Amino acid sequence: MVRPSFRKTCHFPLVSCLAAAAMIYGSGVSFTPPIAPLAGWSCRQVSLPQRSRMSRMKAFLKYVAFGVNSTEYYVQSEWGQHWTYSKSCDVLSTRKDGGNSTRALSMGFGPYHQYYYEFDNWKYWKIGDPDISKIVKENAMKFVSFGPKGAVIVVLKSGAYYFRNLPTELQDCITGRARSGNEDHNRIASVSLGNNDAYFVTFEDGCWQYSGIPSSMHKYIQEQEIKKNYRNETFEQIAFSQDLEEWYLRTNKRWWYQSRKLRSLEDTYKK
């Protein structure tokens, strides 16, 4: 079945190019921050259960992570933690059996059973790339995100970052911003990756850029007029399965999802 798609490109002026600060490790580059983003997206139509709320105080979902598809997930909710029983989630089951907390501070799934988990007392990872693994072992991490075709990006709490095999457009976005320096407001806040070079990147200054995300997600952002560089509303979490079938987003004002799995959890626990 052929799915409808479209691409739209908008050009914005370069904000400024000041000092270039970078650390380079293999094919990865690390820095931080503001080129006004180049926006483009290819989107697909999906039809799944939806839920939204305008008040974050009412959000029953606190943190969501998807893997390759909806069968691999980790969810923190008002009722605790929920996860799929797969190789990528063995860490959670082991911690639970040992009487340890399963409330992750940061986590990510990869398509080849890679994972990264950080808890308040320990971190666990399986990445496959020895250079990236060394960086994760020796540094305080902000987050790790995985994607198809061996894509991975690790962001340190210092603001430095390292990547492998990211979509070219995403590389251009994050390395372009780095030319403005390593100030806190320029640093990467989050990265989500999916099939067909899909990505959604946010920065600490509230700016964001995406491409290839599900059409329903794009439509919601457009209809709700969630604007770039709008100080009163910023993205706090973006999550979508790598097959782009299910997704979740949360800002400081609202949350929304299109996901059978999340709908099932809500219906089960709200009875």
57-103 pLDDT, tens digit per residue, is 455 788 999 999 888 999 998 889 999 988 889 999 999 999 999 99
Dihedral, 145, 169, 189, 220 alpha carbons, nearest 10: -100
- 11 in any annotated domain: no
Whole-number pLDDT of residue 117: 96
d(CA 31, CA 160): 5
- 175 in any annotated domain: yes
The region, left, alpha or beta by phi > 0 then psi within -120 to 50, assigned to residue 206 is: left
Contact status, residue 147 vs residue 114, Cβ threshold 8 Å: no
Whole-number pLDDT of residue 73: 93
Q: Which domain holds residue 191?
A: 21-33+59-269
More confident site: 229 or 120: 120
Instruction: Give the mean pLDDT of 13-19.
Output: 30
Contact status, residue 46 vs residue 15, Cβ threshold 8 Å: no
pLDDT at 34 > cutoff 80: no
- 176 in any annotated domain: yes
Domains contained in the chain, number: 1
Contact status, residue 200 vs residue 192, Cβ threshold 8 Å: yes
Residue whose pair of structure tokens reads 């509303």 in the numeric block: 233
- 44 in any annotated domain: no
The region, left, alpha or beta by phi > 0 then psi within -120 to 50, assigned to residue 264 is: alpha
Closest CA to 107 of 120, 94, 96: 120
Give the pLDDT confidence of 161-219 residue by residue, as tens digits.
Answer: 999 999 999 999 998 877 666 677 778 999 999 999 999 999 988 889 999 999 999 99
Whole-number pLDDT of residue 230: 66
Max intra-chain CA distance, the chain: 56
Instruction: Give the mean pLDDT of 224-236.
Output: 80
d(CA 142, CA 188): 10
More confident site: 125 or 71: 125
Tell me the pLDDT band of 267, cut-offs 50, 70 and 90. confident
- 149 in any annotated domain: yes
- 220 in any annotated domain: yes
Q: What is this structure's pTM? A: 0.77
- 163 in any annotated domain: yes
Whole-number pLDDT of residue 20: 33
Tell me the pLDDT band of 258, cut-offs 50, 70 and 90. very high
Tell me the pLDDT band of 245, cut-offs 50, 70 and 90. very high
pLDDT at 51 > cutoff 60: no
- 234 in any annotated domain: yes
Give the pLDDT confidence of 127-176 residue by residue, as tens digits.
Answer: 989 999 999 999 999 999 999 999 999 999 999 999 999 999 999 999 88
